[in-house]
Amino acid sequence: MAHPLRILIVDDSALMRRLIRTMLEQDPELTVVGEAADGREALIRVAELRPDLITLDVRMPVMDGVETTRQIMAYQPTPILVLTASLSRYDIDITFQMLDSGALDVMEKPALGDNDALERARIALIRKIKLLARVKVVTHLRGRRKLQEAQAVPPPVSPPPSRPSGTFPVVVIGASTGGPRIVQQILAGLPANYGAAVLVVQHIAQGFSAGMVEWMRTRSVLPIKLAQAGETLQIGTVLVAPDRLDMTFETDGRIKLSDHPLLLQRPSIDITMQSVAEIYAAQTTGVLLTGMGRDGAMGMRAIRRAGGYTIAQDEASCTIFGMPKAAIDLGVVEAVLAPEKIIEALINRIAPKWGGSG
């Protein structure tokens, strides 16, 4: 690396800023160029210092993490890693609003106490920063317009009756860095009478999957829930893999959740796609979205070999094009589309559910 990555730390706690600085400065490829104690000060520091990445707190005085993210992404687009100390529903909601406004990813703040845990947190934080600092972010105009988008909460949808395994369409969506916002956009675009079961495998830091589900529910007319072992797929229902657990299926279609200690990435997109393809074959549609690495490429190949359909997100709309590109290079992608076109393809490919109107 020719020049150290320049990091700005934004947190209202002086102790936390000092801890993060100490952790980062142990790596010669990183340098902390500044600190800020609130969002308004952060805007000034970003303009002055032009950092390669910002670690950004959620709750701060003067200007919270959401508005700070909106302003940074509107005027000085910079990779942002959200750091939160709480997994409360309130803080999780703010965190996902920050991701929706242009922040790239989220992690829990390192906690004092256990030295081994602190060292693991340091390694994970540095690895994440080095990945995200190289992402080319784009301007988000929402912060300039300052429009508060009123999101009407849809009425609850009664779950449709379950069907025997292998007799109805299943959509498997896999995503990693930059994925939550795109997954939410896709789910929000599917109609209430959607004629497929939908599975989501999103790489996200441990402890955040339940909050992500709550956040995605605010814009979708489809019921969305965390998958539970033993339940069966239902048409028109979205099931999300819990963090750190792989979602597979028994031959009768019941969900099985497992922990594979040898896998570096859990939940695994490959494992879920392969399991679904084995049972639902040509009824399976695979959608692979933004993310680093190759997870999902082999799963998309399994879907294609089973006669199913495969879609990858296009490079222009990806935060990181790694996962879609791996599947495209493998020759197992039938359509490369922007998110809005993915919605159209999923609707056009799958008829409304039984008993639903067109």
Domain residue spans of the chain? 5-144, 170-349
Please state the pTM of the whole predicted model. 0.85
Who contacts 53 (Cβ-Cβ below 8 Å, separation ≥6)? 5, 6, 7, 8, 78, 79, 80, 81, 129, 132, 133
Q: Would you state the pLDDT for residue 266?
A: 83
Catalytic: 268?
no
**pLDDT score of 147:** 38
Position 2 scores a pLDDT of: 67
Could you say which of 52, 57, 100, 176 is catalytic? 176
Top-tier CATH class for 170-349: alpha beta
pLDDT attached to residue 155: 38
In whole angstroms, what is the distance from residue 347 CA to residue 190 CA? 7
| Burial bucket for residue 150 (CB in 10 Å: 0-12, 13-18, 19+) | exposed
Residue from 52, 203, 243, 268 carrying the catalytic annotation? 203
Classify strands 246-249 and 255-258 as parallel, antiparallel or unpaired.
Answer: antiparallel
Distance CA 90, CA 61 (A): 16
Domains 5-144 and 170-349 share a fold: yes
Is 176 annotated in the active site?
Answer: yes
How far does Cα 321 stand from its chain's mean position? Answer: 14
Residuewise pLDDT in 10s, the chain (358 residues)? 568 999 999 999 999 999 999 999 999 999 999 999 999 999 999 999 999 999 999 999 999 999 999 999 999 999 999 999 888 778 888 999 999 999 999 999 988 777 888 999 999 999 999 999 989 887 765 555 543 443 333 433 334 434 444 579 999 999 999 999 999 999 999 999 999 999 999 999 888 999 999 999 999 999 999 999 999 999 999 999 998 899 999 888 899 998 866 556 789 999 999 999 999 999 999 999 999 999 999 999 999 999 999 999 999 999 999 999 999 999 999 999 999 999 999 999 997 875 443 3
pLDDT of res. 355: 45
What integer pLDDT is reported at residue 190 of this predicted model?
A: 97
Cis peptide before 51 (omega within 30 of 0): no
Domain 5-144 listed as CATH 3.40.630.190: no
Which among 100, 295, 314, 317 is annotated as catalytic? Answer: 295
Separation between Cα atoms, residue 187 and residue 83, nearest integer Å? 26
Which pLDDT score, from 0 to 100, does residue 139 have? 76
Is-catalytic flag, 220? no
d(C-alpha 126, C-alpha 107), whole Å: 11
Residues 75-101: b if buried by 16+ CB within 10 A, e if exposed: eeebbbbbbbbeeeeebbbbbbbbbbb
Buried b (16+ CB within 10 A) or exposed e, 211-243: bbbebbbbbbbbbbebbeeeeebbbbbbbbbbb
